[in-house]
Structures are given as C-alpha cells and as structure tokens.
Amino acid sequence: MISPFRGDVVLTGLVLAIPVFLLALRGDFSAEDVLSRLPWCLAAGWAAVAVVRFASTPPAPTKAPQPTAAAPEVATDPDSERAPA
C-alpha cells in the first residue's frame, strides 16, 4: 500500500488540480468549490500512481526447483545382459 502523501502522489495530484486552479482564477469556481475538489484530485493522483507502479513492477522471480538427491545408479553387469548359451 502506498502512502497518499508520497512525493509522486502529491505531485500528480497537483498536476491534476491545475484545471481546478485555473477555473478558480477565471472566476468559475469559488474557494469552496476548489477546496471541495482538491481531495478528489489527490485521490485521482494516488490511483494513477498506484496503477502505474503496479503495471511497471516486474513479477517476482520464480524459484528454480531444488535439485533432489540423485538416485544411485544401478551398475549393470555386461555379462547379465547376454542370453544364456
């Protein structure tokens, strides 16, 4: 779980809040509107960073199977393979 106040999350949230700030400067949003939308920008930044971090994390390496003890080889007698005469 990543913290919602990590640097990359806050930076992404601020980038997503740029339109909100611009609409406030233009006069379309009041201060109350801006303050009610900023937590949503932080939440969207957290979700975006979480998705990117999940997608860019390589899968955990799989462990190679442990070699088992080698079974003793049965020595064959070359004479035993011949048919009786």
Q: What confidence tier does 66 reach under pLDDT thresholds 50, 70, 90?
A: confident
pLDDT of residue 6: 81
pTM of the predicted model, to two decimals? 0.62
Whole-angstrom distance, CA of residue 82 vs CA of residue 85: 9
Whole-angstrom distance, CA of residue 20 vs CA of residue 28: 9
For residue 15, what are its two tokens? Answer: 């980038």
Q: What confidence tier does 76 reach under pLDDT thresholds 50, 70, 90?
A: low
Tell me the average pLDDT across 72-79. Answer: 62
Tell me: pLDDT of 64 over 80: no
SS3 content of the chain, % helix, strand, coil (to 5): 55, 0, 45
More confident residue, 31 or 80: 31
Whole-angstrom distance, CA of residue 63 vs CA of residue 80: 43
For the chain, the structural domain boundaries read: 7-56
For residue 29, what are its two tokens? Answer: 């949003």
